[in-house]
Every structure is written in structure tokens, then in C-alpha cells.
């Protein structure tokens, strides 16, 4: 069967990763979480105390970063490797979440990440989720899905996810972080979050994961 590129974009915590992962599993495609790459870069900058307002420091730091994914047999997902170190857990921390949108506005960071993402797509058979996959990374993707859901549903989902790891988390902080990231992601100068003209909107506010997957698979079938 013809292999295609599927771009899944949308705001933070809309469930796009869940959908992209499930789609990849169902189709036996490679799943790539592009946000994890921006998170790993941010983690590196924080650890090395890089002043990301200084572009020379950014460029020098990017030269020392290598990003890879490693399949994790235990959970069937791919973990993010930063310079061969598994940083999958650390990149999900609030410390990283608080800075990742800001770091993602930097043109040089985006060029670095986009080049790495495009390389991963050369063989097709890929589902990539992010903010600019359908607009910038793979503008010719055969299928583009733009995932949306109600803001309250998103806060609740994200809170549950973080609470499982850290019960001292506060729902108001989660809400503020989502609002801040929405704002920065949608208003940055370089490839802001927006729906590609040819993307199909999938609102999953009232859908179960299974219903969301079924709706997306229907779209895939139309394309292949």
C-alpha cells in the first residue's frame, strides 16, 4: 500500500500526540513527536545555562546537540535521546514546559529542528505531530490533520497527566502554562501555529481516543 506523510498539528494538550501515536501503530508507520525535539533543545540550553538571547551562544550550542529517537520496548513508544542520553522523562517537567515555547521562537532553533524533522520524513510512512508540520516541515504531506479541543478539556487532560507524576501540581499553574504556550506558539514570527489551508480539522472534545482514531483512519483511507 502507498506510504504517505501524515502531519498532525494543533495546540498543546489537544491529544494530537495520542492520535499520532495510535495512527502510526495502526498503520505500522514511524511516529515522531516534534515537540520532544524542541523540549530536548530547551533542556540542553537550561542545563548548560545558554543565554538564548545571544544568537552566537545559540549557534555554538546547537553544534553540540544531536537528537535521536530510541524505541522503548516496555511501552511501545519512542524515547527522546539528547546526545545519546535518554531524556524522555526530564523533557516533560514543568521547568522545561515553562521555557520551551520561548526557545521555540528562535529562528536558528527552528531551522535546526525542521532540518532534523525533514530528514526523518524522507522515506515517508511517517506520522509527525507538532505545530508547523503541515505548514513548514512537510507542506506537501498527503494528509494534514489539525486537532482541536475545548480549553477546559485540554487543561483537565494535561492536569491528569502531570498529577500522575507529581501530585503537588496545581491546576491553575497548568492552565496558565497552556494559555502562555498557546499565545507564544500562535504569535511567534517564524512559522507560528496555524492550520494549513488544506488541513482537516478534527475536534475531539467529545470523542473517546478510539472514536478519534477511527475518524482519522477514515481520512487516511481516503488518501491511500
Binding residues for ligand DC (CB under 6 A): 12, 34-35, 38-39, 100-101, 104, 130-133, 181, 185
CB of 1 to ligand DC, least distance (A): 27
What burial class does residue 42 get, using C-beta atoms within 10 Å of its C-beta: 0-12 exposed, 13-18 middle, 19+ buried? buried
Output 103 or 216, the one with its CB closest to ligand DC: 103
What minimum distance in Å lies between the beta carbon of 216 and ligand DC? 17
CA-to-CA distance for 151 and 102, rounded, in angstroms?
21
Q: Smallest distance, Å, CB 134 to ligand DC?
A: 10
Tell me the Ramachandran region of residue 160: left when phi exceeds 0, alpha when psi lies from -120 to 50, beta otherwise: alpha
In this complex, which beta carbon is closest to ligand DC, that of residue 5 or of residue 100? 100
> Shortest approach of ligand DC to residue 160 CB, angstroms?
15
What is the nearest approach in angstroms of ligand DC to the Cβ of residue 159?
14
For ligand DC, the closer of residues 75 and 218 by Cβ is 75
Distance of CA 167 to the CA centre of its chain: 24
How far apart CA 60 and CA 50 sit, in angstroms, is 10
Cell of 221: 483511507
Grid coordinates in use for 32? 515522531
* Nearer Cβ to ligand DC (2/8): 8
- The answer to whether 88 and 79 are in contact (CB under 8 A) is yes
> What is the closest distance, in whole angstroms, from the C-beta atom of residue 101 to ligand DC in the complex?
4
Own/partner long-range contacts of 201-206 (Cβ < 8 Å, ≥24 apart): 201/146, 201/148, 202/19, 202/145, 202/146, 202/147, 202/148, 203/147, 203/148, 203/149, 204/14, 204/15, 204/19, 204/147, 204/148, 204/149, 205/148, 205/149, 205/150, 205/153
Residue 178 or 213 with smaller CB distance to ligand DC = 178
Q: What strand order describes the sheet that includes 67-72?
A: 67-72, 77-82, 85-86
CB of 114 to ligand DC, least distance (A): 8
Closer to ligand DC by Cβ: residue 28 or 53: 53
Q: Which is nearer to ligand DC, 133 or 199 (CB)?
A: 133
Amino acid at each position: 500500500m502507498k506510504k504517505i506523510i501524515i502531519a498532525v498539528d494543533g495546540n498543546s494538550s489537544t491529544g494530537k500526540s495520542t492520535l499520532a501515536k495510535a495512527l502510526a501503530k495502526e498503520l505500522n508507520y514511524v511516529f515522531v513527536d516534534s515537540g520532544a525535539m524542541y523540549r530536548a533543545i530547551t533542556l540542553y540550553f537550561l542545563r548548560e545555562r545558554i543565554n538564548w538571547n545571544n544568537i552566537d551562544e545559540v549557534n555554538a550550542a546547537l553544534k553540540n546537540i544531536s537528537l535521536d529517537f530510541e524505541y522503548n520496548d516496555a511501552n511501545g513508544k519512542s524515547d527522546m535521546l539528547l546526545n545519546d542520553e535518554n531524556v524522555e522523562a526530564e523533557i516533560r517537567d514543568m521547568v522545561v514546559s515553562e521555557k520551551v515555547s520561548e526557545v521555540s521562537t528562535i529562528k536558528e532553533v527552528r531551522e535546526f529542528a525542521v532540518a532534523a524533522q525533514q530528514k526523518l520524513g524522507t522515506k515517508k510512512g511517517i506520522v509527525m505531530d507538532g505545530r508547523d508540520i503541515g505548514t513548514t516541515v512537510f507542506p506537501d504531506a498527503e494528509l494534514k490533520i489539525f486537532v482541536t479541543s475545548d480549553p477546559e478539556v485540554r487543561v483537565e487532560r494535561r492536569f491528569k497527566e502531570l498529577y500522575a507524576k507529581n501530585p503537588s501540581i496545581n491546576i491553575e499553574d497548568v492552565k496558565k502554562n497552556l494559555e502562555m504556550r498557546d499565545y507564544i506558539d500562535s504569535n511567534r514570527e517564524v512559522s507560528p501555529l496555524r492550520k494549513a489551508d488544506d488541513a482537516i480539522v478534527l475536534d475531539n472534545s467529545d470523542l473517546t481516543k478510539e472514536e478519534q482514531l477511527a475518524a482519522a483512519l477514515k481520512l487516511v483511507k481516503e488518501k491511500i
